[in-house]
Structure 1
Amino acid sequence: MPLTLDTYRLLGRSGLRVSPLALGTATFGTEWGWGAGEEESRRLFDRYIEQGGNFIDTAATYTEGSSERLLGTFAHGRRESLVLATKYSTLRRPGDPNSGGPHRKNLFASVESSLRRLNTDYIDLLYLHVWDFTTPVEEILRGLDDLVRQGKVLYVAMSNVPAWQISRMQAIADLRGWAPLVALQIEYSLIERTGERDLIPMAREMGLGVVPYSPLGGGLLTGKYSRADLTGADPAPGESNRKSFNAALGMLTERNLGIVDAVKEVALEAGHTPAQVGLAWTLRNPAVTAPVIGARTLTQLEHNLGALDVDLTPAHRARLDEAGAIEPGIPHALLAGDHLRRATRGDLTIQPRG
């Protein structure tokens, strides 16, 4: 059945209600050489809110701080009805070693800066943006808990962190009575499914809602790339440099274009665009709470919101699942095999929980 932005979902093991598509605002501001200016950003924000959306995603360093500043202006008068999520840990001042990282000093300074730019006295959801393998987890968790107790942050979460570290942190938070983690933001799409090995099962077990970014696989699932792009040729004058960016990341591969072919076939049969089908696959995944969608124009946003109307048939879903399937790896493949099943269960039939 079709979804709407006001068909709210609970975020992880919290009572927080969020829209099934979050509005990503890394495109708010033009400091990075692309994106939307203030007027167009306002249109994107207003349209998302008008449709019932309430979940807004930003970060301390998106467009050099312009994303948060614009959101602070746009949210005026309706702040309480919004769920504002921001992130900390990326370097805020080049050359200053303590203006980046997940440690306590940067955590508190980054949050204070975000509060000023967002023109608010609290952040609904704060992510640790990027793990850097330097700060003890107890320091991170205690700092996050202190901010929650102060009322400056309501919920805490992780982004781009190894699964074993997150599960460890959740256990420590539970044992010490600190603020629990409620969300996990990772890259996840038909193109990038390696999170299915450990991160997504861990999130389900530990009570974290999954909020995927790049649900269109860096734009590949829009269907605008072809095998001619495998040559890696530079874009023509005036052409978007996204092609070169994707090529540098290793996104333009025969395997990925094969997935795009399957998406195009399903889109044709379903009467939707490839982008809408690609988004719908992630949106309808029971392991996912809310994919983050970004847009530079109102037309792009409207198009992406059309994914809410896509209800994939079981046959379509199976075809897409097969096209983007990954090897489960060790130990998952071994544990799922018949040999170990017989070794641990014999001929017994044991019903799983739930």
Structure 2
Amino acid sequence: MSTRRQFIGQSALLAGSALLGSSWTSLAAAASEDEMLTRTIPSSGERVPAIGMGTSGSFEITQGSPEYTALKEVLKRFFDAGATIIDTAPTYSNAEDILGLLLDDAGLRPKAFIATKLSGVSGREQGLKQFQRSLQSLRTDKVELLQVHNLGDWKTQLAVARELQKQGKVKYTGITHYLDSAHDQLADVVQETKPDFLQINYSVTNRGAERRLFPMAQDLGIAVLANRNFNDGKLFNQVKGKSLPAWASELGITSWAQMFLKFCLSHEAVTAVIPATGKPDRQSDNLKAGFGPLLSAAQKQEVIKLVG
């Protein structure tokens, strides 16, 4: 439910829309200055914060190391900002172990929306065993989202995920991929199975999901997690030496990272973005993208030209 401040802020934005040429869609999706943007999971109506985080690479570190200490602050800032979704996988080396330990030590598990995966396994028994190992690593008895990673043995593993969902060990089920080349196959599977979530790559320079996957997700009522929002860091090289557009400050954008994340969130099909970082300052920067107005269609096109 919107707060009074959100209502006032959005009303002010609407009043100025005729002058700015912003669309109703962009304005209606705007977040307030002090509350993070949330989006609805269509299958349940539950609202979740639009800025999440990944763990690939950033959580594959050694317990007790300087990187481990930094992750404590990364998580603190994450939850303090109102974020909840953390995406991980049993095939991300020891990321689940590190995440589980950090959440447990800080008493943060109740605040987390954990999204893990069935990854690199074949057959029902392997899927069930891997999930049990994930629960042990994550130090929990259930997870919010269990995804079939990269369409691996997807028919069997999605059935496993749904079996666990019926048992109350999983709240939502999903299917993932991270490559443009898999979009058509992923769309076919999503059309057939209608999971609660799909996860796919989406960024300023990789917009293939807009063609078929995003419209399908909206039509079928499927939540979307967008990964590779910075295109594995390549986007920053493409804007090196370039200034942000003059209008960026009007949206509260002070960095290219915020711009890239807001770009993704400006598509209404996207439920949340999940950038990974092990650095507290970068986490704070990423989180700022969840506050304030989103980009209009014209602003998105300008960013595409700037980056391209």
Query: What pairs with 1:40-79 in structure 2 (closer than 5 Å)?
Result: 40-62=70-92, 64-65=93-94, 67-76=95-104, 77-79=107-109
Q: What residue number does 2:115 align with?
A: 85
Residues 1:156 and 2:173 are matched in the alignment: yes
Aligned to 1:189: 203
Q: Within 2, Cα distance between the matches of 1:22 and 1:192?
A: 19
Name the counterpart of 1:146: 163
Q: 2:42·2:222 contact (CA, 8 Å) conserved in 1?
A: yes
- 1:120 pairs with 2:150: no
Further displaced range: 121-130 or 139-148: 139-148
Describe the shift of the 1:25–1:57 C-alpha distance in structure 2 as closer, same or farther (beyond 3 A): same
Q: Which residue of 2 aligns with 1:23?
A: 53
**How far apart in 1 are the matches of 2:272 and 2:40?**
10
Number of aligned positions between the proteins:
261
Instruction: Work out whether 1:319 is the aligned partner of 2:302.
Output: yes
What aligned pairs does 1:91-102 form with structure 2 within 5 A after superposition?
A: 100-101=121-122
**Contact 1:210/1:290 (<8 A) preserved:** yes
1:7 to 1:276, Cα distance in 2 relative to 1, 3 A: closer
**Cα pair distance change 1:309/1:19, threshold 3 Å:** closer
Structure with larger RCO (C-alpha < 8 A, sep 6+) = 2
Contiguous gaps of at least 5 residues in structure 1: 91-99, 171-180, 226-256, 326-354
Deviation per residue, 1:168-209 (Å, 9 max, x gap) = 122xxxxxxxxxx11111010111111112221221122211
Alignment of 1:1-354 (within 5 A): 1-3=30-32, 6-26=36-56, 27-30=58-61, 37-62=67-92, 64-65=93-94, 67-76=95-104, 77-90=107-120, 100-101=121-122, 103-132=123-152, 135=153, 137=155, 139-160=156-177, 162-170=186-194, 181-222=195-236, 225=237, 257=238, 260=239, 264=242, 266-271=244-249, 272-309=254-291, 311=293, 312-313=295-296, 315-320=298-303
- The aligned residue for residue 5 of structure 2 is none
Q: Distance in 1 between matches of 2:223 and 2:199?
A: 8
Aligned partner letter, 2:300: R
C-alpha separation between the residues in 2 aligned to 1:313 and 1:8? Answer: 18
Instruction: Assess, with a 3 A threshold, how the Cα gap between structure 1 residues 205 and 39 changes in structure 2: closer, same or farther.
Output: same
> In structure 1, how many angstroms separate the alpha carbons of the residues matched to 2:217 and 2:84?
23
Residue 267 and residue 302 in structure 1: after superposition, are their counterparts in 2 closer, same or farther (change >3 A)?
farther
SS of 1:37's equivalent in the other structure is helix
Query: How many angstroms apart in 1 are the aligned matches of 2:288 and 2:100?
Result: 27
Map Cα deviations across residues 228-281 of structure 1 (whole Å, 9 max, x no partner).
xxxxxxxxxxxxxxxxxxxxxxxxxxxxx4xx48x9454454242222211111
Deviation by residue 1:95-149 (Cα, 9 ceiling, x = unmatched)? xxxxx24x312210111000000111101100111124xx472x33432221112
Tell me which structure has the larger Cα radius of gyration.
1
Asked whether the equivalents of residues 280 and 310 of structure 1 are also in contact (C-alpha less than 8 Å), the reply is no
Q: Any conservation in 2 of the 1:30–1:36 contact (CA below 8 Å)?
A: no
In the superposition, the TM-score normalised over structure 2's length comes to 0.76
Distance 1:136 1:194 in 2: 22
| TM, length-normalised to structure 1 | 0.67
Identity %: 28
Secondary structure, counterpart of 2:227 in structure 1: coil
* Aligned partners of 1:68 and 1:117 also within 8 Å: yes
* Structure 2 residues not aligned, in runs of 5+: 1-29, 178-184
